[in-house]
Structure 1
Amino acid sequence: MSRVRIGAVGAGWWATSNHFPLLANREDVELVGVCGLGPGLGDVRDKFGFGLATESVDELLDSGLDAVVITTPHDLHFDVATRALERGLHVLCEKPMTLRADEAWSLAESVERAGTHFLVPYGWNYKPFTVEAKRILDAGLVGDIQFALCHMASPTRGLFGGDPTHMLERWDSDTKPELSTWADPKHGGGYAHGQVSHSSALFFWLTGMRAATVAGRVANAGSAVDLFDAAVIRFDNGALGSLSGAATLADGDKYQVDLRIFGTEGVLMIDVERERVSLSRYDGENINVDIPASEGEYECLVPPVRFVELITGASTQNNSTVDVAARSVELIEGLLRSSAADGAEVRVHD
């Protein structure tokens, strides 16, 4: 395959600020078409060199593609991804992959049937220091996991609270985030879907674990969607865990993602804010990973490139597969169900 023929469904803020510039600069990619709504779609087509601009998903998917990039509002991901997989296309689908667990696992089954690559672009899953943390865990240096903490906080109260303008300085984009995507509960807005999807998917990729039950609460603090999340989790292996999320860091503060994994052989700590990966074993061995300054800052440069490399065969390493994303989706759905049930413990899966 000399060039990967890629189409895009969704042409908003994140697609035009991150994915399209990366893909347009690759010689092994042909941008066949873009599907979206609004009078600016033609400008997007011309700016990034797409051959086609259309408001019809089917027209795009039937235009001779190898792969599709999906950056629609959250509640549309499942339908578009399913239609793409039915056509045998490779899929990059933004997070949260879906809003419901049954849809997430349906996509996993569709991927298996299609035999194609499916990647959800979680940026932290591709950082060199998290890859090293994964190596430590896979080597058994923590032992059997007995307890885990998974925390995330970010300067996004404007985004989820209704005013996203402060976010634009982080990205080179002429478009603004759609409030209906991030701050409207009907479309899957809120901190759990929008941000805890990152931290939980990083945790599930690193550990390979799966949540069995969750008891949690969310708080809106005057917003239409959740700004704060807290939960107690029981995992399939019997381990206990805690999860938390907060949208109200001050503008300009560094993102917090803090994972602490306690096992029978030692403790692994992963902290993106202070750029730390450290292992403290009960036999006295200690490992501290050397991490360059600012390496913990969030960016999503590797996942779109890795998607292309998976298709061409230049790489075989997918750190954010459909099943990793599905385990995140089912946990978040369980958290929101539990909160709606006054914090009662609910099963995450059968």
Structure 2
Amino acid sequence: MSRVRVGAVGAGWWATSNHFPILAGRDDVELVGVCGLGPELETVRDQFGFGMATTDYAELLDQGLDAVVITTPHDLHYPQAVEAIDRGLHVLVEKPVTLSAETGWDLAERVRAAGVHFLAPYGWNYKPFTIEAKRLVDAGHLGEVQHVLCHMASPTRGLFAGDTNHMRALWDSETSAPDPSTWQSPSRGGGYAHGQVTHSSALLFWLTGLRAASVMAKVSNGGAAVDLFDAAVIGFDGGAIGALSGAATLPDGNPYQVDLRVFGTEGVLLLDTERERVSLHRYDGQQWDLEIEPGAGAYECIVPPNRFIDLVTGASTENNSDADVVARSVELIDGMLRSAAAGGADVAVHERKATAP
């Protein structure tokens, strides 16, 4: 394939500040068309060199595309991804990819059936230090996972409960700020769980291969319309247990906190983006303490869009945030919110198949 013909649906703050500059800078990408709403659409088309602009998604899909980048409001991701996958297109979908366990696993099944590449751009899954942590886990140094701690906090109060313009300033977007009707609406997937815990849980599931089986959760809105704080106790397939927490109220300028601690039968893994440290210490005395450059723990999303194109061209075969990782994250968050709505009841995250007597 000489150049990957890419169409984009969604032309808001994140696409224009991150994905489009990356794609426009690649010689092996042709930006065929962009689909969106609002008066800035033609400006976006001209700024990044898209061949056409439209408000009609079907018209975009009819342009002979190879791949689609979806960065629309959360509740539109699933139907738009389905249309693209069913046409045999490769798809990058922003998080949260879907809002329910059923739709998350449906996408994974469709991706397998169609034989296309599917990537959710979780930036931390592509950091060199998380990749090395994954290598250590895959080598068996951790053993069988028995307990996990998964924590995330970020300076995102304004995104979920106030003026979203500060996010535009932080990410140098030249278009309008994030739409509050997306990030601050419960029915559209607003709130910290879908908006941020999706990151920490996807990192956990990619690193460990775990799958949540049950969850008891509480959320607090802190006066907002959506959850700003999340807490959960999780049971995983295979018997491991875990604790998860999330908070949207770090002061602006504070580094994001993603703190994973995984306890296995052979050792313990610590991964902390805020203090930029990764270690795996085994009970037999072997230890790995990774060297991480200062600032490397900060969130950025440069590798995922590039990796998506590399997967399409065949330049890479490594996908650290595929449809299976996405589905495991989505179903956990779905279960957390169902549990919280039921007063913290213990709910099943997925149906378990009956075993033969």
TM-score range, shorter chain: over 0.9
3-state DSSP class of the match of 2:330? helix
Amino acid at match of 2:54: T
Corresponding position of 1:294? 295
Corresponding position of 2:182? 181
Q: CA deviation at 1:263?
A: 0.6
- CA displacement 1:54-102 (0-9 Å, x = unmatched): 0101000111000000000000000000000110000000001100110
Question: Percent identical across equivalent pairs?
Answer: 70
Corresponding position of 1:339? 340
3-state DSSP class of the match of 1:293? coil
Q: CA deviation at 1:162?
A: 2.3
Corresponding position of 2:221? 220
Are the aligned partners of 1:166 and 1:251 in contact in 2 as well (CA < 8 Å)?
A: no
Counterpart Cα distance in 1 of 2:86 and 2:62: 11
Corresponding position of 1:205? 206
Q: CA deviation at 1:165?
A: 2.2
Mapping for residues 310-329 of structure 1, pairs under 5 Å:
310-329=311-330
Mapping for residues 59-74 of structure 1, pairs under 5 Å:
59-74=59-74
Corresponding position of 1:10? 10
- TM-score using structure 2 length: 0.97
Gaps of 5+ in 2: 352-357
Give the number of equivalent residue pairs.
Answer: 350
Amino acid at match of 2:115: G
Corresponding position of 1:282? 283
2:166 matched to 1:166?
Answer: yes
Counterpart Cα distance in 1 of 2:204 and 2:170: 25
3-state DSSP class of the match of 2:321? coil
Counterpart Cα distance in 2 of 1:208 and 1:28: 33
Corresponding position of 2:137? 137
Gaps of 5+ in 1: none
Mapping for residues 83-122 of structure 1, pairs under 5 Å:
83-122=83-122
Counterpart Cα distance in 2 of 1:286 and 1:88: 46
3-state DSSP class of the match of 2:325? helix
- TM-score using structure 1 length: 0.99
Q: CA deviation at 1:218?
A: 0.4
Mapping for residues 14-53 of structure 1, pairs under 5 Å:
14-53=14-53
Range with greater deviation from structure 2 (123-132 or 166-175): 166-175
Q: CA deviation at 1:223?
A: 0.2
- CA displacement 1:227-254 (0-9 Å, x = unmatched): 0000000000100100000000000000
3-state DSSP class of the match of 1:213? strand
Amino acid at match of 1:148: V
3-state DSSP class of the match of 2:147? strand
Are the aligned partners of 1:204 and 1:327 in contact in 2 as well (CA < 8 Å)?
A: yes
Amino acid at match of 2:92: L
Q: CA deviation at 1:123?
A: 0.2
Are the aligned partners of 1:267 and 1:280 in contact in 2 as well (CA < 8 Å)?
A: yes
